[in-house]
Chains A and B, each alone.
Chain A
Amino acid sequence: MIIEKATNEKILTTVEELTIPQGKTLFLLLGEKGNYDLKELQIALKERGISFFGALFTSVIYGHKKYDDGALLSLLDLEEKPYVIEGLDSDEPKLPAVFEEEAFVEKMMDRTALVIVDGLSSHIATFLSNLYDHFGPGVNYIGGGAGSLTFVKKPCLFTEDGIYQDGAIVAFLRQQINLGVRHGWKKVKGFLVATKSQKNIISQLNWQDAFAVYRKVVEEDAGVELRVDNFFEVAKGYPFGLVKENLECIVRDPIAINEEGHLVCVGEVPEDASLDILRGKTEELIEAAGLAAEDCFLEKATNYSGCLIFDCISRVLFMEKDFERELTVICKRVEQEMPHTPIGALTLGEVSSYGDGYLEFFNKTIVVGVLYERR
């Protein structure tokens, strides 16, 4: 259910009108341009005695449209109450002790882990690596980075227990999921090596100043001068690709130049990693979204119960008015298989595993997941 021009009052009124069946958990996705007070909303929802969790995103997706000021309400079947992990700004985010228990891991086998992180946290990759260490490919992961497009850090996650910044929420859904992960960005210039980088900052490419190398490639291709003041506007069309053999590369989005003149990306770029500079064409990106939806149905299931989309906000910024065409392509494919309207969010980074492989944090990517009931 979508609430446009959402406010605390509208949300609470809708929640009161909702009949929430026993065992269901309310999942709230809030578009950042709505008018809320997150703390008050969390307290008010808690007072109503319902199970809930949610996050503030740059925008929310309902069907083939995005709603920057909308609030999306969905009811989920969870195995357990959602788990909150705090400290994603530290070297070793501490996971709940129960994740260590063999019986718990076994119980979650084949379930879907919905993972919402604070997209502006500095140690998302470490957190995901630790999470994958516990559950491996035993569960399928889908999710993305919450937070504001202003890139100002603030609490953006909430559960019955509070509101959180620099944290993550992991909710284990009872259903299984088929995933499609695509981006459609293509290489302009390849074989760069991040010869000096730390976390999400690249200071050297091919043993030279990273910004100088990047600027040269982008200016040649785009035919515009790349400066600090227009960096975000131009760079949104030229992300990096972390080379992954035999698979589509993982996109890393350069979003700013820091005071030292280094490139700041969303997501970590390991030192010595091999990088390409990518370029996007609207049609290719839309085609990739279609393929992501298509991938979800490679293995047919019978009793589908929902479709989740986590799509990078930077694709919106790049495709602008054409963006909703990508949602339409997905919806058309999903409609062929199930009656459910896809729901999701525009994110600061996307979370998924590539099929059965390693759990990754993506940028500029679309992750589509089709939920189905376990046989």
Chain B
Amino acid sequence: MSAADNIFKNLTVLYEMALSIGQSLELEKNCDNFLKILLARKNLSYAAVWLREDKLLPQGHPNQLQLSYGKPRYFIKERSIKECERLREVFQNKDYLSITEGSPYFQDFVHENNIKSGTYVIFPLSNLGYLKLYSVQAKSCFFDEKEIKQLDKVFKKFAISLEGCISHQKMIKEVEERKKAEEELSQLNETLADRIDKEVIRSRQKDVILQRNARQAAMGEIINSIAHQWRQPLNSISLAASNILIDLELGEDEEQIRKSCDFILQRAEDMSGTITDFMDFFRHDQVISDIDIEALLIDIGGMLQAQLFSSNIKLEWHIQEGFKLKTYKKEIQQVLLNLITNAIQAFDGLSKEDKKISLTIRQEGSYIIELYDNAGGIAEDIINKIFDPYFTTKEKGHGTGLGLSICKNIIEAKLHGEIQVQNIDGGALFQIILPESLENLND
């Protein structure tokens, strides 16, 4: 064969090898396409690609090599090895390393099964790792210098293609991880939606219970007020009835007895009026009206008169004459009743001379209602919890813990306002801000 023929022959074989590189972005398939041709055309026994772990894995070690491809598998034994320091040094001066069975270092390079003799030729694959080729023939090198030079470029191209495969592999892994995360998120969302639905149902049930309890609590307060309200007239009725009995025994004149009866009837009528007032209190408004706030406070004062009186508390208010508040009457009435009742109870056990509850209402665009008591204020460690349902500082059996929670709920949900509290001047100041208009807010 002429020299030209030889060159053409070499070129066509190199052409076949070069074209077999990079036909797949899958690392193993890319290696397989190329190395099967290399094994067949060069009649080699084994080819392996060892890649640095840090090129393949995020936490990989640069001195640890992983077997990424080995053909035939018959020879495969070790799959992960520590890179021999000597090998790195060798490739600083050489393009390849050939090592034959006679070499004292031969065994250091045997990481395969069934190899006791023969020759290895190792090529670096850029900074990715190594290509290890083996032939059972014990020649000093099964490639001559010319072949090495020819193959050098092919192997460089192969290394570049491997970089592409590794990037592709990483990208696929990232996409898979993202997909997995999305699936997990989607699953979580489904679970979350489910949990939210359950929570909403539970919350509604809680609201129902809360409303029922609130109603019962309010009724308790009212009954308490009625009891206070009725104690005095009942005493009077009882006294008048006793007087009638004495008058009858003594044979007093009829006029005296009639006066006592009239008195009893008058008191009974007053008591009946009280019940009507309280019953009216429980009816909720469906319409917004202009409320004469002073008249409302007089009513509340009347209802709470007995408690105020027995605790020696002065209820006062500072309101511009004829001031009207445009909102739901029954709701604002309940809020004020609860707040004043709460303020009265704050004085329990407190010996103080000038006990007072003072209320101011003004309009600065929004309505601002401020209720102040001088009962010593609220402890700082609980001031943020006092609007929580069932939170109470009262002894068990003496408070539901719902009064302030009901107020907050009514103010925010129905009246579209807000309520806050702070300690000031040895007392507590509750501030309620209500919108100027509720039109279109409660559709």
Contact = CB atoms under 8 A, between A and B. Distances in A.
Given A244-B40, A272-B19, A193 B72 contact: no
A136 B43 contact: no
A191 to B, nearest CB: 4
A246 B43 contact: yes
A322 B147 CA distance: 41
Nearest to A246: B43
A133 B74 contact: yes
A276 to B, nearest CB: 9
A245 B43 contact: yes
Interface in B57-101: 71-75
A193 B9 CA distance: 10
A191 B7 CA distance: 10
Interface in A127-154: 129, 132-138
B15 A272 contact: yes
B137 interface: yes
Contact of A273 (B16, B75, B135): B16
Contacts of A246: 42-43
B226 interface: no
A134 B73 CA distance: 6
A307 B76 CA distance: 33
A138 B114 contact: yes
B22 to A, nearest CB: 13
Interface in A175-229: 190-191, 193
Given A133-B71, A136-B114, A137-B136, A354 B43 contact: yes
B215 interface: no
Contacts of A135: 72, 74
B13 A358 contact: no
User: Interface size for chain A: under 10, 10 to 19, 20 to 34, or 35 or more residues?
Assistant: 20 to 34
A92 interface: no
B12 A191 contact: yes
Contacts of A134: 72-74
Contacts of B42: 245-246
B306 to A, nearest CB: 96
Contacts of A356: 45, 135-137
- Among A135, A243, A354, find the residue whose CB has the most chain B CB atoms closer than 10 A: A243
Contacts of B46: 136
User: Interface size for chain B: under 10, 10 to 19, 20 to 34, or 35 or more residues?
Assistant: 20 to 34
Given A244-B43, A272-B20, A354-B43, A136 B12 contact: no
Interface string B110-150: 00001000000000000000000001110000000001000
B36 interface: yes
Contacts of B15: 193, 272, 274
Interface in A265-288: 270-274
Interface string A243-274: 11111000000000000000000000011111
Contacts of B39: 357-358
B71 to A, nearest CB: 7
A190 B9 contact: yes
A357 B43 contact: yes
Chain B interface SS verdict (over half): helix
A137 B71 contact: no
B10 to A, nearest CB: 8
Contact of A270 (B37, B44, B114): B37
A86 interface: no
A9 B72 CA distance: 45
A244 B37 CA distance: 10
Nearest to B9: A243
B279 to A, nearest CB: 88
A101 to B, nearest CB: 12
Given A133-B71, A136-B75, A243-B9, A193 B43 contact: no
B8 interface: yes
Interface in A112-168: 129, 132-138
Contacts of A244: 40-41, 43
A273 B11 CA distance: 11
Given A136-B46, A243-B9, A358-B40, A193 B16 contact: yes
Nearest to A132: B72
Given A136-B114, A191-B9, A245-B43, A129 B36 contact: yes
- Among B9, B20, B46, B137, find the residue whose CB has the most chain A CB atoms closer than 10 A: B9
A191 B46 CA distance: 27
Nearest to B71: A133
Contacts of B439: none
Interface string B369-392: 000000000000000000000000
A109 B114 contact: yes
B378 to A, nearest CB: 79
Contact of A245 (B41, B73, B75, B136): B41
Given A272-B20, A274-B16, A247 B43 contact: yes
B5 interface: yes
A360 interface: yes
A338 interface: no
Contacts of A105: 74
Interface in A318-375: 354-358, 360
A136 B9 contact: no
A242 B72 CA distance: 21
Contacts of A137: 45, 74, 136
Contacts of B75: 136
Nearest to B17: A272
A76 to B, nearest CB: 24
A137 to B, nearest CB: 5
A354 B40 CA distance: 10
Given A136-B114, A193-B15, A272-B15, A357 B73 contact: no
26 contacts: A109-B114, A133-B73, A134-B73, A138-B114, A191-B5, A193-B12, A193-B15, A193-B16, A243-B13, A244-B43, A245-B9, A245-B41, A245-B42, A245-B43, A245-B147, A272-B20, A273-B16, A274-B9, A274-B13, A354-B43, A356-B136, A357-B39, A357-B135, A358-B39, A358-B40, A358-B43
Closest 9 CB pairs of A and B: A136-B74, A274-B12, A357-B43, A356-B136, A136-B72, A133-B72, A272-B19, A191-B8, A272-B16
Interface of A: 105, 109, 129, 132-138, 190-191, 193, 243-247, 270-274, 354-358, 360
Interface of B: 5, 8-9, 11-13, 15-16, 19-20, 36-37, 39-46, 71-75, 114, 135-137, 147
